[in-house]
Each structure stands twice: as structure tokens, then as C-alpha cells.
Amino acid sequence: MPDASGVHYDRVDARYFEARGLRRHARVWSLWALGVGAVISGDFFGWNFGLAAGGFGGLLIATVLITALYVGLCFSIAEMSAALPHTGGAYSFARSAMGPWGAYLTGLAENMEYILTPAVIVVGIGGYLGAIFGTPEAAAPLWWLAAYAVFIGLNAAGVETSFRFTVAITLTALAILAVFWIGALPHLDLERHALDITPQSGGSRFLPFGWGGVLAALPFAIWFYLAIEELPLAAEEAQAPERDLPRGILFGLATLVVCAFLTLVLSAGIPPGAEALGRSDEPLFASFSTIFGSGIGARLLALVAVAGLVASFHTILFAYSRQIYSLSRAGYFPRWLSVTHGRRKTPHVALLAGGALGYAVAFGIHTLGSEHPVGAVLLNMAVFGAVLSYGFQMTSFVLLRWHRPQIERPYRSPLGIPGALLALCLSGATLVALFVSDPFYRRVVIGAALWYALGLIWFALVGRHRLVESPEERFALETGPPAREP
């Protein structure tokens, strides 16, 4: 049946949704662990490239700004996730606020984020394991392949197994960080180590690259928080999503704010210092070597520290699988991607497809070679998708407040529309930073933009003609006409 937005809905019978079922399991602390676990790798790897981009002061200021972004974002998402508790998450919010085209624009941006973020993390896992076991750099793709195989299998084993592992590995990662923070305190000397980057012309020790370094550091500061917004994707697997999703999101954000600033200050403020740390693929290993020496003790702790990367890798595989599942269940992506395992009720096809694409991108960048770290290249591509998604989600929040005030909101953001607009503006600033900071990263992000454009062509030619009234679509259609298309 045709829709006024230029899309077409196909009729499907009950067997279609029976082949695409999920199982409810998660409660508030499982959701907290999912949110924190998705992000915690940012304290182990990735953020440190911001030291090379902006120096300690530039990254510190960037982290304050990005923290403000995520406060506005998370309060807004907490409200929308309670009002629209569907697996689609960001796509679901945009579908009710901006119609099918807005839904696809948002969902495609978030899909890029969640496909590429595990690829960033798996590069970090390979870096840590390679340093610990002394394997050559050429063997890194084998570590990546092994990680994808193990954790796709674990996610496919069932939601109960997946969430139990998520809680355990997240608590382990936090314990490792606590050991690091305590061990780093006696070695802390910010003046000597955090400010050891030689200032460029017009810069200072605190801001060695000037205020432009703050802008350049924004994409890396995001790594302290990126993916906390995945929690709404667990809505159809949560026991009480209207109550527990907002709690899980906000408790998780509070945990991550503490972790971000402790990790930044205590890592940069001890040997090897900010300059060396800004080039490292295994920053926590370097810091452990300072605290415990370079012997077997540091290596064992670094091996355990891989738990932080594993926590995020595992949980973001969960995120991309549910995100692909929801968009394909509704017909925006090919429908076969949404089929779930008959007994375990996990989206195993989406898990495999997303993993194959993420690995292929990482392997391709590794094979082409670059003076820039593979992880940093992928990070900028992932952040491109993330900030686009954030902008659409905050636009959705404002439009839902304006045009659909009748929707029941079990939780309301105390920051309201001003909080969403703050997050929208800071997301836009980060998007600008991606294009102006480094000429090489600019080309990388342009490549990501081309990926996005190809996805839009798919929807214009194929996807919009094959939509299905999934829960997200049905809610949007039944609660009134959507706001005008963007």
C-alpha cells in the first residue's frame, strides 16, 4: 500500500514476524553494563590520539565540551527511549518525528557508526595482543579475525549468555581501570609529562597547537562516550524498558564521566608522557609499564586490560546486530538480514553481515598502508556517522516535543529542548572538526560520506518500495502524521 511520503508498504503475514522474534531478559543493571561496556574501551584505546591532535590542554577542553554534548544527548534519548521503546532506537525516534526518509537518514548514519566502531576496537585488541605476545604487525588482521569470530559466536549464543558476559566483562574492565588510577597517582606530574609537547608557533605548553587543537581533538574526545546511546536498541529485550532504559542510560553516563577525566589526567600525567602516548596503539600498556615495570607483571596486567576492549567490542556487536535487525525488519535494508535464530532468538544473520563488513573495511585500510594509525583512521569514520546520527536524533527530539506532545512520556528530560539544541550544536562543531583538522583524515571522512551516499541511493531506488509495518513503523503511523520531511 502506498504512503504519502513516497514509500510503499508490503503486506506480510504473522510468519514474517515469528521468524524475527527477540527474547526479553535485561533489567536496569544489565542495561547499565551494556551502556558502560560499549564505551569503556575508549579509556583503553583511541582517546589518546587526541593528545597528538590538540595536546593535553586541547584534549582536556575538548573533553569538557564533549561531556556537555553527551549530557544533552543522553537526557534527550532517555526521554525518547521510554516513549518509543522499540529496537530501532535512533531510527525509531526519527521515524515518528521526520517520516521514512528522516528515519533512513538517521538509521544509515547510526549504522555506519556501529559497523566501524567495533573495527576501531578490534584494531586496539590486535595492538595490545601483538605487544603482549610479540607478534609482528603483519599478523594483526589474524587477531582481528579471531576476535570477530569469538564474539560474534558469543552474541549469537543467546541474550541471556550475552548479557551475563556483558556484566562480568564490564565490571572487570572498571576494576582494571581502578588499579591503573591508584597505581598512577604516585607518578603523577602534569607539568613534566602532560605538557611535554613542543608548542607550535602561537601555541603554549597547555595548548601547543592553539585553539585549533581543541577543534582537532573533538573527534577523539568523543571516544570517551561514543556508543552510550546504543541502549535504546535493547528495548525489545528489556523487561521494563519504559522504566529501566532511562535509568541505565543516565547511570551509565555518570560512570563514564568519572572514568573519562581520571583516565585522561592520570594517563597523560605520568611517563611516557603526552607526546609518546599520542602515538601509541596500546596506551594503557605503556602506562602499566611505568607503574609496574616492563616485565611480566606489566604484560599480565595489559593482558587483563584487554578486558576493556573486549567489553566494548562485545557490546557494540550487540548494537550493530540489533540496529541492522530493526532496519531490515522494516524493509529499509534487505529483509533477510533480520531473520533470527529459531531457538536462541538472536539476529545471527545481522551479526555475521555486520562483522564481515567491519572486518573488510579494517583490513582494506591496513592493506593500503598509511603513516596514520589504522585505528585513528577508522575512528574518524565512525565519529562521522555518530555525529550525523546525533544531529538527527536531537532534531527528532525537538520535533517530537513540538508535533507529537500527545505521546505518553514516562520519563521527561529536565534539560528539555535547550539540552537537545546544545547537543545538536556541539555535534555540528565536531562534524566541522572532522573536515578541517587533518588533510588525510578529511579524505577519509569524504570516503565515509561516499559510503553514506551509496546507502541513500539504495533506499531511493529499492528500499523505499519494500517497507514493512514493523513495530516502529506501526507506532509512527498510528500516533498521527509525521512532521514534514527534512
Band of the pLDDT at 124, cuts 50, 70, 90? confident
Query: What Cα–Cα distance (Å) separates residue 130 from each residue in 97, 105, 134, 290?
Result: 46, 38, 5, 19
Sign of the CA dihedral with 246 first, then 249, 253, and 254 last: positive
Convert the pLDDT of each residue in 64-103 to its tens digit: 999 999 999 999 999 999 999 988 889 999 999 999 999 9
Band of the pLDDT at 372, cuts 50, 70, 90? low
Q: Name which of 50-54, 205-209, 430-434 the model is least confident about.
A: 430-434
> What is the torsion angle, in degrees rounded to the nearest 10, for the CA atoms of residue 435, residue 215, residue 128 and residue 131?
90
pLDDT at 1 over 50: no
The 3-state DSSP class for residue 26 equals: strand
Higher pLDDT, 144 or 439: 144
State the architecture of 14-478 in CATH terms: Up-down Bundle (1.20)
Per-domain residue ranges for the chain? 14-478
Cis peptide before 271 (omega within 30 of 0): no
Convert the pLDDT of each residue in 236-282 to its tens digit: 888 899 999 999 999 999 999 999 999 999 999 998 888 988 888 77
pLDDT at 486 over 50: no
Strand partners, 467: 9
Average pLDDT for residues 190-195, to the nearest whole number?
A: 89
CB 196 within 8 A of CB 186: no
CA dist., res. 298 & res. 301, Å (int): 5
Convert the pLDDT of each residue in 211-223 to its tens digit: 999 998 998 899 8
* List of residues 6+ apart from 462 with CB closer than 8 A: none
pLDDT at 2 over 80: no
pTM of the shown model: 0.89
In this predicted structure, what is the pLDDT of residue 485? 44
In this predicted structure, what is the pLDDT of residue 186? 92
Convert the pLDDT of each residue in 272-305 to its tens digit: 888 988 888 778 777 877 887 766 665 666 666 6
* List of residues 6+ apart from 376 with CB closer than 8 A: 46, 49, 441
pLDDT at 354 over 80: yes
Percent of the chain with pLDDT over 90: 54
